[in-house]
Structure formats: structure tokens, C-alpha cells
Amino acid sequence: MPRFSYTARDRAGISSSSSIEAASRKEALRLLSARGLTPLRIDEDAALGKKPARTVRMQPQANPPESHATAQPPSPRRRGVTKGPSRRERLPFLTALEDLTSSGLSAGEAIRLLSVRIKEPQLRALSGGLWERIGEGASLSTAMLAFPEVFDSASVNLIQAGEATGSLNDVLKRIIAHLTEQRELRRQLVSALAYPVFMMFVAVGVILFFLFYLLPKLQTLLSALGGELPASTRILVATSDFLIHYGVFLLIGGAMATIAFWRWYKTRPGREAIDAAMLKLPLIGPFAVSRTVLSISQTLSVLLENGITTVEALRMTARQIVNTVHHRAFDEASNRVLEGEALSQALGRTACFPDLVLDQLSVGENTGNIVPALKKVSLTYQQKISQQLNVFTKIIASGVLMSVFVFVGFIAYAIVSAVFQLSSSFKM
């Protein structure tokens, strides 16, 4: 019987290497899965001059030990696809998979059907790649590890827990609901910012039209009339002349400053400095806190509800926090939780989270209902973020409109005052 050498990781995340006898590679993968091992690499030992069979390498979970480096899975480009699947295919794929599995199909049969029937190229490539690995004996969660650009570690671990407990359909529904809520939040954010950004572009266009087109024509007319211009008109004319002659240099300088600032922001010190400064701003600071609380409550409730251990749930939740100040504070709180401290007390020490949230978590911990408490916090902050976005939109839109009205009014005053002053001097 052939012997296969393998490197695998157990449920505790510890990697080990050994060998196993099996009739085929598919049977070897099945035996390893039955032992609770996640294969990272498996290949058939050479024997009697026979060339070794091709090696099957599985992409490991996030943060693998450095001593067990593994090869990357084949990229979609090598499979003849011009562009590989991305994170945007995750929700449509899981939705289609849940529709089929809820109808009675197994996960493997559902993915095989998707790989044949689905029309969208990226989803078809994703389904085909998963079916290829499942056909070799890998489980659904193990096959998903080969596509880290599509499935994050939290989704993969939830799928693995669903497979182990036989509740894959329930897990898929919860993941889909969680991803749908996140997508809706992003849609609200984009919708809230669309109108203010549009108004800013219109305002800048109107101002530039006055300064570069109308004002030079009026300046020629006023100069032909002669006389001294009022102070407001001189300021307006000087501004127009400056922008006409030096506007290109200002544009280049602004672009260079923006690039330099962006590169600094991408560094760790720059990101931490900007995130800390944003928390002190009147409107942006409370919104950043609300977004962090919503991200923690949503992710942690879904993970704990589906049987993920507290250690893994805290680690995966930390990756969803955008603000680096809050991320560092949550890491510190997670370390205290692992030492035996309650989550509400650990988060309270950071001074980054609202007292009401800490009180709700404390009540949930004392009553043994931490997941319902997290869900309640999530629902509350979903509504709060919607309200904050509405206020934010109205304030920005009102500010932009007021700025445009003030500038247009200043232009009108400067022109009218110049006409009156020149006409009065002409009569004299």
C-alpha cells in the first residue's frame, strides 16, 4: 500500500509531520481529516524507482508558525483565468451555496453543480477550484484555505465548525447575514458621502469658472472704465491673477504633498498618529468609536455563537478593527481576557469604549448570555451609525452650500461695488 508523507495542523494549531498508509491520496486526506488534522502538505513517497506523484499543498490558516512554511496555492492565472476571484465573490458564492445546501444537496455536490452551471466567470473559477480540491478528498473548509484572497480566516473557521457539528446550513446563514450587514454599512457610508462630495465638486467648479473665465472679462471692462477699484474688487482680481499665473505650481505642489502624506500615512507611525487625531475630532471621533463597537459586537457574536473558542474569536475579531488605536487597545484587552479577566473589565481599562457598552457586556457575562448582549449592542450601534451618517451628510452639505453662497455673494459684492464706484467717478 502506498505511503504518504504529510505536514498537518491539529485543532490547537500545532503543526507536525509524519506519514500514513492509504490506498490513494484521496483516502489519505480523508484519514487525516478523520483524525482532526488539517493537511498543509501531502505527497506520495517514492518507491522502487517510481517517480513521486505530484505534491498537494494546502494553504495554511492565518499566522502560521515560521518554521512550517508552505507553498502558495496555484494562482487563478495559471488556470487560464485572466483575473482571479477576489473578496467581492465571497458573499454571492456563499449565498448560492446556501441556496443549494438548504435544498438538500451536500456541500460537495452543490459546489460541483455551481462549477458547471454558474455563468459569472469569477464565481465559476472559484467553484471550479474548490471542487477540484474537494474531489481530491479535502473538506470544504480546507478547500477554502487555498483561496485566502476570497475567504478570510474567520469565515473558514466558521465553516470548519459547521462541518464538525453538522450545522453547515445554519453557519452559512449566519455568515451571509453578517456579510450582508457589513455590505449595507458600506453602502450607507458611500451613499452618505456621495452627495457632499458631489456638492464640493460643483462648488469648486463654480469658483474656478468665476476666477478663470468671468472675472478676467470683467477686469478688462473695469480697467477700460478707469478709476480706482474698491478693496474687495482688488482682492478678487489679485486672487484671480495669482491662480492664473501660479495655479499650475500650486496644483503640482498639492499633488506632491498629497503623495508624501499618503506614503507617511501608510507607515505604522503615520497611521497611528492620524487615527489618534481622528478620534479627537468632533464628528469623526464618535463615528470611529461607533464603527469599532459595531465591528467588535457583530464579529464576536457570530464567532462565539458558532462554537469558535474565545481565544480564536478574539484573535479574529481584532483583524476587523480598522482604527489602530482601538486595535491596540483591543489586543491588550484580549491578553487580559486570556489571563482570566472578564471582557467588560478588560475593555474598560482601555478607556476607548463607551460605558453603556461595557455595562451591557458585564450584564451579559454575569447572566451567561454574552452572545445576546453582543447582538443587542450590534443592533443599537447599527442604528446609531445610520443617525451619525445622516447628521454628517447634512452638516457637510450645509457647509459646502454656505461656502458657495458666501463666495458667490462676495464676488457679486465686489463687482457691483466696483461698477458703482467707477460710475460715480465717471460722472464727476
- pLDDT at residue number 425: 61
Angle at 22 between CA 20 and CA 28, to 5 degrees: 75
- pLDDT at residue number 70: 32
For the chain, how long is the longest CA-to-CA vector?
A: 116
Distance CA 52, CA 47 (A): 8
**Mean pLDDT (whole number) for 116-143:** 87
Q: Which residue has the higher pLDDT, 425 or 315?
A: 315
Exposed/middle/buried for 247, CB within 10 Å: 0-12, 13-18, 19+? Answer: middle
Strand ranges inside 280-410, DSSP E: none
Q: What is the mean pLDDT of the chain?
A: 79
In sign, the C-alpha dihedral spanning 61, 8, 131, 44 is positive
**Mean pLDDT (whole number) for 81-106:** 82
| Residue 226 near residue 414 (C-beta atoms within 8 A) | no
Residues 6+ apart with CB under 8 A from 83: 76, 77, 122
**Mean pLDDT (whole number) for 73-102:** 71
- Please give the model's pTM, rounded to 2 decimal places: 0.63
- pLDDT at residue number 64: 37
- pLDDT at residue number 46: 59
| 5-30 residue pLDDT tens | 888 777 666 778 888 888 777 677 76
Q: Which residue has the higher pLDDT, 9 or 417?
A: 417
User: End-to-end alpha-carbon separation of the chain, Å?
Assistant: 115
| 268-323 residue pLDDT tens | 899 999 999 999 988 889 989 988 898 888 888 888 887 778 888 888 888 888 88
| 16-71 residue pLDDT tens | 888 888 877 767 776 776 676 777 677 777 543 344 444 444 444 433 333 333 33
The H or E element that residue 40 is part of is strand 38-44
